[in-house]
Amino acid sequence: MGLYAERLLPKIINNACGRSELAPLRRRVCAGLAGDVVEIGFGSGHNVPFYPAEVASVTAVEPAGKAWELANERVRASTVPVQLAAPDGQQLPFPDDRFDAALTTFTLCTIPDADAALTELRRVIKPGGTLHFVEHGLAPDESVRRWQRRLEPVTKRVMGGCHLTRPTVRLMQNAGFTIAEVEAFYQPNVPKFDGFLSLGVAVAP
């Protein structure tokens, strides 16, 4: 990894993902989590303050060491035990049916192989366990999709591989999850090409 990707990009993402307007979304997506949770794309820990008391532990999956450094203060302040345990969401070093639930927020856009990551999550979540998600992705309006296709080569280069056109819900369904609930909407005050969000809960078979 070069200097930009290894040291600078995590700081940029930390600032972008730490915006105050994202806090209500993080609170909503974390609601209902319980037991042992695996969070892929842990980043710099912006979800930590919103873990419910019912969460027994969080196992963090995060490839960027700098992001984990930036998360230290939040992790130390957490009432929920948080452990960094894996760098790669596409190859999770955990046994089958290890976790009660999973959490992913603004992550599936950047994982090189989102299909592999979702298949791994399905494997390590107990049958009937839940995947809580809020992700941006392919917009429903063709006029927005055109801009997403135009700009995606740029976002992939400068934002750590960020894809604008991934169909989040369909990818989860293809991996075998059942969508229990989902709300899809454009985030206010964000350009539509980057602001179409899907927030919900999927259930592992």
In whole angstroms, give the CA distance from residue 156 to residue 159. 6
Q: Mind listing the pLDDT tens digit for each residue in 113-129?
A: 999 999 999 999 999 99
User: What is the arrangement of strands in the sheet containing 196-203, beginning at the earlier edge strand?
Assistant: 82-86, 55-61, 35-40, 99-105, 125-136, 196-203, 178-186
Alpha helices, DSSP H, located in 21-167: 23-30, 65-77, 114-124, 142-158
What does pLDDT average to over the chain? 94
3-state DSSP assignment of residue 99:
strand
Which range, 6-10, 70-74, 174-178, is most confident? 174-178
Name the token pair of 155. Answer: 């976002």
For residue 8, the model assigns a pLDDT of: 82
pTM of whole model > 0.75? yes
Domain covering 3-203: architecture: 3-Layer(aba) Sandwich (3.40)
For residue 4, the model assigns a pLDDT of: 73
Q: Mind listing the pLDDT tens digit for each residue in 83-141?
A: 998 788 999 999 999 999 999 999 999 999 999 999 999 999 999 999 999 999 999 99
Is 200:179 a contact under the CB 8 Å cutoff?
Answer: yes
Read off the pLDDT band of 32 (50, 70, 90).
very high
| Pairing state between β 196-203 and 82-86 | unpaired
For residue 64, the model assigns a pLDDT of: 82
For residue 50, the model assigns a pLDDT of: 97
* Whether the predicted pLDDT of 156 surpasses 90: yes
Residue keyed to tokens 């695996």: 38
For residue 6, the model assigns a pLDDT of: 73
In whole angstroms, give the CA distance from residue 116 to residue 150. 26
Is 32:55 a contact under the CB 8 Å cutoff?
Answer: no
* Whether the predicted pLDDT of 39 surpasses 80: yes
Percent of the chain with pLDDT over 90: 83
3-state DSSP assignment of residue 126:
strand
